Amino acid sequence: MKRIGILALQGDFEAHARTLTRLGADPVFVRTAADLDTVDAIIIPGGESTTMLKLLHAENLLAPLAAFGRRRPIFGTCAGAILLAAGVSHPAQEGLGLMDIDVERNAYGRQIDSRVTRLTPEAEFAARTHPGEMEAVFIRAPVIRRVGPQARVLARYQGDPVLVEQGKHLVATFHPELTADSRVHELFLSKL
Catalytic residues, by residue number, are 78, 175, 177
Residue 87 DSSP symbol:
E
Closest CA to 12 of 45, 43, 34: 45
Q: How far is CA 70 from CA 20, 61, 63, 86, in A?
A: 23, 14, 11, 14
- In 3D space, the residue among 173, 171, 174 whose CA is nearest the CA of residue 43 turns out to be 171
Bridge partners of 79, per DSSP, are: none
- How far apart CA 192 and CA 188 sit, in angstroms, is 8
Alpha helices (runs of H) in the chain, residue ranges in sequence order: 13-22, 33-36, 49-58, 62-71, 79-84, 123-128, 183-189
* Rounded Cα distance, 9 and 59, in Å: 9
